[in-house]
Amino acid sequence: MSLLDFNERYRRLPERLLKALESGQTGQSYIFSGDSIEELQLFVDDWVQTIACSNLTAHGACGECRNCHLLDSKNYSELYTLEPASKSRTILVNDLREFQSRFFYKSNSNMKKIGVIVEADRMQVAAQNAFLKTLE
């Protein structure tokens, strides 16, 4: 599956994202929302692979380069995911701060650092405030 396979479902957003990436005009962060976490995860996985791919094609990630293989095998060392934890299924402020600290320094490799926050609506208020300060 490639990023553009989602084009009709997401009203040509994948096409616009791909064009932004090709022209070096991507945003620093994106919020994707929807009803199905499983569907969103499939889309985000393709978007992450497209960002990381070192041999981008007209349809998105090539699926053949080193970074694509590292992502496929879950060995891309600069992909950081934050998701709800604990009994309350919330994202705690300390977990958010640890997640953010991964982005303070440049990567030692030539891989792009990529962060994904799953179910960001599950952040506790202190985590929301800390995250907003980062985005400002």
Q: Which residues bind Zn ion (CB under 5 A)?
A: 53, 55, 61-62, 65, 68
Nearer to Zn ion, 13 or 62 (CB): 62
Alpha-carbon gap, residue 31 to 121, rounded angstroms: 11
Contact in structure between 62 and 46 (CB atoms under 8 Å) = no
Closest separation in Å from C-beta 73 to Zn ion: 13
Closest separation in Å from C-beta 3 to Zn ion: 12
Nearer to Zn ion, 52 or 117 (CB): 52
Alpha-carbon gap, residue 55 to 47, rounded angstroms: 14
Alpha-carbon gap, residue 76 to 54, rounded angstroms: 13
Closest separation in Å from C-beta 27 to Zn ion: 21
Nearer to Zn ion, 51 or 53 (CB): 53
Closest separation in Å from C-beta 29 to Zn ion: 22
Closest separation in Å from C-beta 71 to Zn ion: 8
- Chain-centre distance of CA 62, in angstroms? 17
Contact in structure between 54 and 21 (CB atoms under 8 Å) = no
Alpha-carbon gap, residue 44 to 123, rounded angstroms: 19
Nearer to Zn ion, 68 or 117 (CB): 68
Alpha-carbon gap, residue 69 to 76, rounded angstroms: 8
Nearer to Zn ion, 11 or 69 (CB): 69
